[in-house]
Amino acid sequence: MSNETLSDPRPCTRCKGTKVVHNQWAKDNGYEGPEGRPCTGCRAKGEFPGLDVKAVVDALFTSRGPKRFRKSYTSTKGFSDGFEARVYYVWRLARFHGGQDVTMPVTADLVVRSDPFKPELDRLSEEVAKRVFGTDMAAAYRWAGALGYNVTVPAGQPAAAYAGGPVADENKPAWEQLELV
């Protein structure tokens, strides 16, 4: 067990901190030299900065008037910015767990795929879902039934938790539309 904290940087999960990746197929077919290619997971930095939980949570809520969870998500920087990717991931997974959008969050997973803080982001999204939507189980109930498990969904869950309920609300971003197919 290390003395690592959330503020300490961690090595990229893709390149393991080396800043480069190797692909045998690419090497065999002349697309990559012996030195490898720059890691796209960390943008060849080798690590990700520490996780500022407060900043991520603050970015999930409106800044004007009374604080409210953002209904929609628009990125001003795009997901090449690691902080924006983390905020979007927590926003999307909180909506998933809370029953606002129970389609598989594939896009969100892709934007943080190499981030070593992903387990912490997962836990944070569950906590946000509980506090904002009152549950972190809506998608689990919906998918358990879809996967053939006999699950009794408790009363009081969002409509998306029940078979035949809606899968997403009107706030699903345009770039996630393929998740509906």
Q: Is 2 exposed, middle or buried (0-12, 13-18, 19+ CB in 10 A)?
A: exposed
Q: Where do the domains of the chain lie?
A: 11-47, 50-180
N- to C-terminal Cα separation, the chain = 43
Q: Is 110 exposed, middle or buried (0-12, 13-18, 19+ CB in 10 A)?
A: exposed
Q: At what angle do helices 138-146 and 82-98 cross, to 10 degrees?
A: 70
pLDDT of residue 1: 35
* Tens place of pLDDT per residue across the chain (181 aa): 344 689 999 999 999 999 999 888 877 887 777 788 899 999 999 999 999 999 999 999 988 878 899 998 876 667 777 899 999 999 999 999 999 999 999 989 999 999 999 999 999 999 999 999 999 999 999 999 889 999 999 999 999 999 999 999 988 888 888 888 8
Rounded Cα–Cα distance for residues 70 and 84 (Å): 14
pTM reported for the whole predicted model: 0.89
Neighbouring-strand partners of residue 11:
47
